[in-house]
Amino acid sequence: MAERPTLAPAVLDELAAALDAERVVTDAAGVDEFKDPYWIPGDDSYLGSAVVYPTTVEEVQEVMRIANRHGVAVWPHGQGRGGYGGPSPRVRGSIQISLRKMDKVLEINEELAYAVVEPGVRWFDLYDAIEAGGHSLQLTVPDLGWGSVIGNSMDNGMTYMPYGADFQLLCGLEVVLPTGELVRTGMGAIPDNKSWHLYRRGLGPSFGEMFAQSNFGIVVKAGVWLQRKPEAYVSVNLSVGQDADFEAAVDALRELRLAKVIEGVPALYAALTAAPQLIDAQVDFDLSRPLTDEELQAYADETGVGIWAGRTALWGTKAIVEAKLEAIRRVWEAIPSGRVLASKVYAPADYPDITLSTEQVQAGIPTLQLIEAQPPWLGHIGFSPIMPLQGSEVRFVMEQIRTRLREDGLNFLGGVFAFNERTACIVTGIPFDVRDEAQTRQAYASAKRLVQEVGALGYGEYRAHVDFMDEAQGVYDWNDGAYRRFAETIKDAIDPNGVLSPGRHGIWPERFRDA
């Protein structure tokens, strides 16, 4: 194992003066808290040198000024719980900026249905604030509620209500630029503007999306769109008993989305994922070898979820929900092995009675059930390519993924997500035993090969693990990589010293490009 990275005493002294010494952490235990728990045992390739905990926007600005003075790379994160490398920095020895202590819910506007939060606010925190205030509002949430609302959203993390589609949740950002300068997006550029968190654009170029998945700035405040608690809510499971009906199921999801019968983000999970995801089953299957088609079918039949199992939900008046549910039944039950299993129809007063995690998530109630269903040794790495929402296209890419994993002795977890009416994403979770270094290394090698092999067929990832961000960005190579060159031109202009998150999603500042 290589020697641990350290910071120069002058840098540490300036950080301690800016933040107080107790919020500048350099001991091994404190820094190792921000390592990817699923990374290769004993490999310190992505180890930081220190963790700092700012509590104000001004402190974030000062950290960036210090980084610029000394040419030290920094890597910010909200809660550091993302599934694509967690808080690990791309450049070893970076200062990790944990925004956990910036955890205030600054505003909840009942009439216009939005909140304003800092980057350390978790899904649990915002949900609790909404409930404590007695607001008739609800929040679209991901499967795990421990992450940062801003951090997850800025990395294009999935949520399932209508604002989850095409990542519409955030509106109006306050951003610390790499130099330490502060900027507001959209209408926020007008002093005291009342529409900052209501309208994403302003006048001229729009920069809100520029900060998603980028290394162009640190979002320190954001508006979050909420929705009214509906009169009625129902969670809907869509089972497909036979793999032969997979393509028809994907096409059915598309038509239901295009018809606006389904308005959130529906998913179609493989059986191994569907059981813990939909019926709170414990993960207890053997991952020491790839399971055969016959074993997968037996598991699907035993658990009752089907070889593929969809999830969606409906929100609205009781009449609208019942009419849409009937429309879903007509479409889905036309699939030979299709079944529709709906929960009871809940009113907001019934939400405390919801116990099944899939129903909680789609009601906007954060939970940790999905991680609690897994044994502590189970790790995973994600591979998430985008494609048209067509059964034949999704089947083709799915077979490339499953064939590669089986050849490498691994299993497929995950499913198909309809990010919008026309787009599918296969979110692949490659499972492995974190105690088994050989299997862990094989999982990462397989994921990297998938990026390259599936990318060569024209399918790029929407989100990439820190270990293969360069390979994932390399797929976007039309016109000899014009997209990357354009992004790096912007990077060099706004971050002349190349200190903020160098290498994030394959975008490098000039001083690192030849390294």
CA neighbor of 305 nearest in space, from 374, 252, 360, 241: 241
* 250: helix, strand or coil: helix
Please give the Cα distance from 334 to 342 (Å, whole number): 17
> Using N-to-C axis directions, what is the helix angle for 246-258 and 391-407, rounded to 10°?
140
Q: 174: number of CA atoms within 13 Å, CB side?
A: 19
CA distance between the termini of the chain: 22
Q: Tell me the residue ranges of DSSP E strands in 101-242.
A: 105-109, 114-117, 137-138, 170-176, 182-184, 218-225, 227-228, 232-240
What does the block give as tokens for 113? 């249905």
Please give the Cα distance from 400 to 381 (Å, whole number): 17
* 162: helix, strand or coil: helix
Catalytic annotation, residues: 84, 462-463
* 66: helix, strand or coil: helix
Contact 350, 231 (CB under 8 A): no
Q: Alpha-carbon torsion 293, 295, 296, 298, what sign?
A: positive
Please give the Cα distance from 458 to 388 (Å, whole number): 11
Region of residue 51 (left: phi > 0; alpha: psi -120 to 50; beta: else)? beta
What does the block give as tokens for 307? 């070889």
107 DSSP β-pair partners: 116
> Using N-to-C axis directions, what is the helix angle for 318-332 and 246-258, rounded to 10°?
150
Q: Tell me the residue ranges of DSSP E strands in 48-151.
A: 50-52, 74-77, 95-98, 105-109, 114-117, 137-138
Q: Tell me the residue ranges of DSSP E strands in 5-67.
A: 24-25, 50-52
Q: φ, ψ for residue 166 (rounded to 5)?
A: 55, 25
User: What separation in angstroms does the CA of 347 have from each of 362, 479, 492?
Assistant: 13, 53, 52
What does the block give as tokens for 376? 């502590």
* Neighbour count for residue 227 (Cβ, 10 Å): 15
CA neighbor of 513 nearest in space, from 501, 494, 498, 495: 498
CA neighbor of 350 nearest in space, from 363, 337, 333: 363
Residue type, 478: W
